[in-house]
Amino acid sequence: MAGVIFEDVAKAFRRQDGAPLPVLEDIRLTAGQGEFCCLVGPSGCGKSTLLNIAAGLVAPDRGRIRFAGGRGAPRIGYVFQRGRLLNWRTARGNLAFALEAAGVPRDAWPARIDHHLRLVGLEQFADEYPLALSGGMQQRVAIARALCIEPEVLLMDEPFSHLDELTARTLRREVTRIWRETKVTILFVTHNAMEAAYLADRIHLLTARPARITRSLAVELPRDREMEDPKVVAVAREVVRALEAPAA
């Protein structure tokens, strides 16, 4: 697996009137190989932009991103806030689309598709279309689609924010299990301090726009965790306090 290193990354966009809109400023953060890292900060501060830079979808204005431990550019999987599935393709067809785009030989597709749908508990729904599936099941398909290319880095942009809490809890457990099985490096964006405390090895805290990293908090709690565990709650409170603290 590949570690992800942001070195003094800055990014600004242009407003309609042409004025610059600074989004990221001097971002320095590291996600170690096989580490589960959460990015937490105010809405609109640039967390998704960081993921897009990691994915190569957006170029930084300054600084650079490096990948450590792999050979060359790593394979990157991306799970968005909503599944972004192709509604005219079955669950199996959505995974096949990702494998084709990644250049995976066609004879490897059936085994990979079956394995990853089984990994997310949807092997019995392989031939169903997305609109016949619940929101949680659609997001499972999206996770399987991101994983079937066997990424070295998995980017997850608030993947459970549109789900009810019971479904989100189930998927948090599932993602934790899958991460432990695959050892993929994960960068996970969330607004939810409890979610970050439950999932992460390390939490990177961002300021309001233009975002900077104010703190990187190691979560030294054993797995498996429970959301109601007082130690998890204490980490979440520490995250909230740090986010509420006045900027230095």
Residue keyed to tokens 């306090």:
241
Please give the residue that has the higher pLDDT: either 73 or 227: 227
Provide the pLDDT for residue 74.
Answer: 87
Please give the residue that has the higher pLDDT: either 68 or 61: 61
Q: Where are the beta strands (DSSP E) in the chain?
A: 3-14, 20-31, 36-40, 62-68, 76-79, 153-157, 185-190, 202-206, 213-218
Q: Which amino acid is at 10?
A: A
Q: Could you tell me the pLDDT band of residue 2, with boundaries at 50, 70 and 90?
A: confident
Q: Which amino acid is at 73?
A: A
130: preceding bond cis by omega (within 30 degrees):
no
Mean local confidence (pLDDT), 10-34: 92
**Cα–Cα separations (whole angstroms), residue 86 to 89, 102, 160, 179:** 6, 16, 19, 25
Q: Could you tell me the pLDDT band of residue 82, with boundaries at 50, 70 and 90?
A: confident
Q: Give one DSSP letter per residue of 160-174, joined into a string.
A: TTTS-HHHHHHHHHH
Q: What is the pTM of this model?
A: 0.94
Provide the pLDDT for residue 248.
Answer: 56
Return the number of other C-beta atoms located less than 10 Å from residue 85's C-beta: 21
220 near 238, Cβ under 8 Å?
no
